[in-house]
Amino acid sequence: MSFLIRKSELRDIHEKVAEDIRISDEDALRLLTSKDVNAVGAIANFARQRKVGNRASFIVNRYINYSNYCILSCKFCSFSRKKRDQDGFQLSIEDMVTKAREALDIGITELHIVGGLHPSLPFEYYLDMIRALKQVDAGLQLKCFTAIEILHLAWLAKKSTDETLQELKIAGLDALTGGGAEIFDPSVRKQIAVGKESAEEYLSVHDAWHRLGGRSTCTMLYGHIEKPTDRIDHLRRLREQQDRSGGFTGFIPLPFQPENNEIPVSDPPTGTDQLRTIATARVYLDNFEHITAYWIGMGLNLAQVALNYGADDLHGTIVEEHIFHMAGSRTPQAHTANEMIHAIREAGRQPVQRDTFYQAIREIEA
Ligand code: SF4
């Protein structure tokens, strides 16, 4: 045990983690709110090292948003538009195929595709989209749709969630994205995302997908109106779901971006808060392999630091991002694989290029 931990008020939590004892919600709250951020990081780093060793991953991927038209109006959302808005957009399947082809030239292995709940596109558009993109390259992994999009597609298709997911899977869907979890607590959800699916509905979509043999990630949008206890409640529900269905490949905490939306937040997440949130997730979510430091929200420099606060993944090259940038993110639109590799090496870790399921594609010298 390091001197740092021996002297810390968090020593008892470290002892639990060292003995592989699951920490309680109260322990997690102490980690999340502790002023001893270095001790929090040391505990998370210990848990991370035991789980995944010295490796830290990234993926060469491209985001595509097929449309930002949405029938809902979540207050925190800076991305959605109505048909009357001049900056709304909608891509044809041909547009998407062109973007996919261009991105294959830079070596992507994954397309990450989400959009709003479009008011008029039929279910067939989504099936045709998946089929067309699979035809571009059968090896290209398609990680598409949030849980609320799946519920919307089921409604369009007039089918159950299971049947809808099965059809999408047959068309070529490889994985679900984790977006849309926001904060699960119903009173917070009501204030920031009225009309959106409940926590139970979000988790039921992922549950159904996992039971079909599918894999997905999950997220938490934090640093707006929620309290620390709401974050722990959110993590608890994810840990319980993972105990039940086991299909989450990783957890991606998303720091709130405060511009161009209707949630007045004068105090968005600080760097320390972001590091503590990642570290708490690593220690509390003991049934998750991978915790991502999402550079689009944090910036690559802080994401790199997070590799020593429990994170073991930097997400992807992205290429074109709308959702966080429309909310005020000042990060670049893309980072190259070499920039990711450099950041991981500088953090003292071994870079690994991964696929959608976090399997290694390329091991790179540390
Ligand atoms: S968060 Fe998603 S569902 Fe809500 S308004 Fe934005 S695009 Fe629509």
What would the pLDDT profile of 31-50 be if each residue is shown by its tens digit? 999 999 999 999 999 999 99
Rounded to the nearest angstrom, the distance between the alpha carbon of 116 and the centre of ligand 1 is 6
Predicted confidence (pLDDT) at residue 306 exceeds the cutoff of 80:
yes
Q: Which residues have C-beta atoms less than 6 Å from ligand 1?
A: 70, 72-74, 77, 79-80, 116-117, 148, 193, 196
Q: 158: helix, coil or strand?
A: coil
Q: Which structural domain, as residue segments, surrounds residue 10?
A: 3-363
Rounded to the nearest angstrom, the distance between the alpha carbon of 29 and the centre of ligand 1 is 29
| Confidence at 21, pLDDT banded by 50, 70, 90 | very high
Q: What is the mean pLDDT of residues 150-173?
A: 98
Give the predicted TM-score (pTM) of the model.
Answer: 0.96
DSSP class of residue 22? P
Mean pLDDT score of the chain: 95
Q: Measuring CA to CA, which residue among 1, 93, 45 is closest to residue 305?
A: 45
Q: 355: helix, coil or strand?
A: coil
Element (H, E) at 144: strand 141-144
Gap between the terminal Cα atoms of the chain: 26
Predicted confidence (pLDDT) at residue 19 exceeds the cutoff of 90:
yes
CA distance 94 to 289: 37
Q: What is the mean pLDDT of residues 316-340?
A: 86
Residue 68 CA, closest ligand 1 atom number: 7
Q: Determine the pLDDT at residue 46.
A: 97
Domain CATH for 55: 3.20.20.70
CA distance 332 to 300: 9
Q: Determine the pLDDT at residue 350.
A: 97
Best probe residue, ligand 1, of 72, 148, 323 (max atoms within 8 Å of C-beta): 72
Q: Are 237 and 206 in contact (CB under 8 A)?
A: no
Query: What's the domain count of the chain?
Result: 1
Q: Measuring CA to CA, which residue among 37, 6, 13, 44 is closest to residue 283?
A: 44
Residue 116 CA, closest ligand 1 atom number: 7
- Dihedral, 79, 84, 87, 89 alpha carbons, nearest 10: 80
Q: 312: helix, coil or strand?
A: coil
CA distance 354 to 109: 9
Amino acid at 139: G
Best probe residue, ligand 1, of 190, 196, 197, 205 (max atoms within 8 Å of C-beta): 196
Pairing mode of beta strands 350-354, 360-363: antiparallel
Q: Are 314 and 57 in contact (CB under 8 A)?
A: yes
Among the residue ranges 101-105, 106-110, 333-337, the one predicted with the least confidence is 333-337
Q: What is the mean pLDDT of residues 185-194?
A: 94
Q: Are 220 and 202 in contact (CB under 8 A)?
A: no
CA distance 64 to 291: 23
DSSP class of residue 292? B
Which tokens go with 307? 């590799």
Task: Render pLDDT for 201-221 as a digit per residue (tens, 0 to 9).
Answer: 999 999 999 999 999 999 999
Pairing mode of beta strands 61-65, 110-114: parallel
